[in-house]
Amino acid sequence: MAAIPQSEATGVIKSPLGSLVVPAVESPAGAPLFSLVVPTLNERENIGDFLAAVRHTLDRAIPNQYEVIVVDDDSPDRTWELAASLMDGFPELRVVRRQNENGLAVAVMRGWQVARGALLGTINADFQHPPDVLGRLLERTQGVDLVVATRHGDGGGLGDWGLYRRLTSWGAAWIGRLLLPQVYARVSDPLSGCYVVRREAIQGVTLKPLGYKSLMEILVRGNIRAVRECGYEMRKRIRGQSKVHALHPLQYIRHVFRLRAASPVRGAATAKDAGAQ
């Protein structure tokens, strides 16, 4: 892996630039098994409590075998700085400050580019994905390339979402199902922002996501064979604000068309084949 540029003052890592390719890594002794990327933009109100909750879960699930990488887009509220101030008491924590780019899906993949684990994951910082779902995702990784936290099966749900949010989510899924049916045949929730993927399944592939949706991108461009799912109840955001804005639906549609042009996906097993547990 290329040397990672760091600011000596704070230990904050500068985001990689150039092609979005997750490298293969030889995992040396002591390297973490699991690298969790937490993308953030103005999450000052959540980041401290969220990282504490993630740590609590991962210390029980896979103690000393993980790292957490906050990838912050140079937030005006200086989330990156607050996260970096927690690194002293949390040795598994790393912080990337991304100053030259934006976009949620790319942020996740930039984090994986500096990650060291054989298993790569992502989760939102606003508690909408309950942090304890990470333990259940990790339990299901045996023998599969991808485990997806789903709202649409295995006991998952949309929780207390309002009508407008349900309608927009339904609309996005309808477009996705229409244009990328092979993706929907494999997982029930390809719009999920919480999942664990095996590095081997995406390493060396040039990724080109647009906007928010990273999972669709890796389902189409990665070499993902067996997949499994894990249900969770999505929560409402309590603190901070949603970053979703009017351009995101258009970006999503462009991304779906781009992935359709890059399809078809190779013959592949579905979550059902691997057996949702």
Ligand X SMILES: Nc1nc2c(ncn2[C@@H]2O[C@H](COP(=O)(O)OP(=O)(O)OP(=O)(O)O)[C@@H](O)[C@H]2O)c(=O)[nH]1
Positions that interact with ligand X (CB under 6 A): 39-41, 43, 71-73, 102-104, 107, 124-126, 128, 237, 242-244
Positions in the binding site for Mg ion (CB under 5 A)? 126, 128, 237
Among Mg ion, ligand X, none, residue 43 binds (CB under 5-8 Å by kind): ligand X
Among ligand X, Mg ion, none, residue 14 binds (CB under 5-8 Å by kind): none
Cβ closer to ligand X: 20 or 125? 125
Cβ-contact 137, 121 below 8 angstroms: yes
Cβ closer to ligand X: 243 or 272? 243
Q: What is the Cα–Cα distance from 162 to 147, expressed in whole angstroms?
A: 27
CB of 194 to Mg ion, least distance (A): 11
Cβ closer to ligand X: 160 or 273? 160
Cβ closer to ligand X: 43 or 154? 43
Say which amino acid occupies 241. Q
Q: What is the Cα–Cα distance from 259 to 214, expressed in whole angstroms?
A: 11
CB of 110 to ligand X, least distance (A): 8
Cβ closer to ligand X: 75 or 145? 75
Among Mg ion, ligand X, none, residue 244 binds (CB under 5-8 Å by kind): ligand X
CB of 184 to Mg ion, least distance (A): 22
Report residue 161 as tokens. Answer: 């979402």
3-state secondary structure of 39: strand
Q: What is the Cα–Cα distance from 144 to 138, expressed in whole angstroms?
A: 11
Q: What is the Cα–Cα distance from 148 to 227, expressed in whole angstroms?
A: 8
CB of 104 to ligand X, least distance (A): 4
Secondary structure letter of residue 203 according to DSSP: T
Cβ closer to ligand X: 71 or 276? 71
CB of 91 to ligand X, least distance (A): 22
In this structure, are strands 13-14 and 93-97 parallel, antiparallel, or unpaired?
parallel
CB of 257 to ligand X, least distance (A): 20
Position closest to ligand X via CB: 242
Among ligand X, Mg ion, none, residue 102 binds (CB under 5-8 Å by kind): ligand X
Instruction: Give the closest residue to 50 by CA, choosing from 82, 21, 22.
Output: 82
Report residue 250 as tokens. Answer: 């258009």
CB of 88 to Mg ion, least distance (A): 28
Cβ-contact 148, 229 below 8 angstroms: yes
Q: What is the Cα–Cα distance from 55 to 44, expressed in whole angstroms?
A: 17
Cβ closer to Mg ion: 128 or 214? 128
DSSP string computed for 257-276: HHHHHH-PPPS---HHHH--
How distant is the alpha carbon of residue 111 from its chain centre?
Answer: 9
Question: Measured between alpha carbons, how far is residue 173 from residues 188, 247, 259, 268 in Å?
Answer: 10, 17, 15, 20
